Amino acid sequence: MLDDLLALEPPPREAIRAQVEHVRGSARHMGRMIDALIADAMGDALDITLHRGPVDLAALAADVVASNRILAERKNQRIALAGPEHLMLTGDADRLREALDNLLSNAIKYSPPGTGIAVTLEREAGNAVCHVRDEGPGLSAEDEMRLFGRFQRLSAQPTGGESATGLGLFITRRIAQLHGGTVTARSGGPGHGSTFSLVLPLDNGIDTP
């Protein structure tokens, strides 16, 4: 058997190149199929009917921080939470929890081990605002242009081998928009960390002083 293998002529370089291109083409086709499946699922996921009611954004943020703390501790990251004891608005508690979780889990995912993450809530110009600040790789100019698009992958890579779908920020922006709000991002550039801010209106008359 070994003699037979040794007697085999190596395949021509052109044949190897053709095989490599075939594998690459198959991989691209599989990627398009996966993207199409995710897009179909996302079409259903974004057909959202909000179940509105009184929501304490401060309590939601505390719950999200608590549920993500174990993930941060695995990377020796510290999460600090600051803000008013209560921050009431009208909205869908489950969807707002999802938005906050996306922002915090992204900060954990892309920040190096041993760094800090700050979650800060405040009232600002008639809005409830939740800032998530990290000490991660920051955002390039190209990142900022396509940050909230569907299936967008940024220049930074997860620092702990976590998976990334490129959908979390897209979903977060959709949730914010359905609540009449927005989500923004700012960074001093690569190497200077990022701040993501979820802004939601407080003009519903139930804000707690």
Predicted TM-score (pTM) of the model is 0.73
Predicted confidence at residue 5, as pLDDT, reads 47
Q: How many residues does the chain have?
A: 209
The four Cα atoms 143, 72, 172, 162 give a dihedral, to 10 degrees, of 60
Tokens of 1: 């058997």
DSSP 167: -
158 contacts 164 by C-beta, under 8 angstroms: yes
Count of beta carbons in the 10 Å neighbourhood of residue 140: 14
Q: CB-based contacts of 81: which residues, under 8 Å, 6+ apart?
A: 61, 62, 65, 119, 120
Mean pLDDT per segment of 10 residues, for the chain of length 209 residues? 53 67 63 58 62 95 94 94 96 94 92 95 95 88 72 60 68 92 88 92 57
- Token pair recorded at residue 159: 């620092």
Note the pLDDT of residue 30.
65
Distance CA 205, CA 209 (A): 11
Q: What's the pLDDT score for residue 150?
A: 66
Q: Which of 116, 108, 120 is nearest to 168 (CA)?
A: 108
Q: Is 133 helix (H, G, I), strand (E, B) or coil?
A: strand
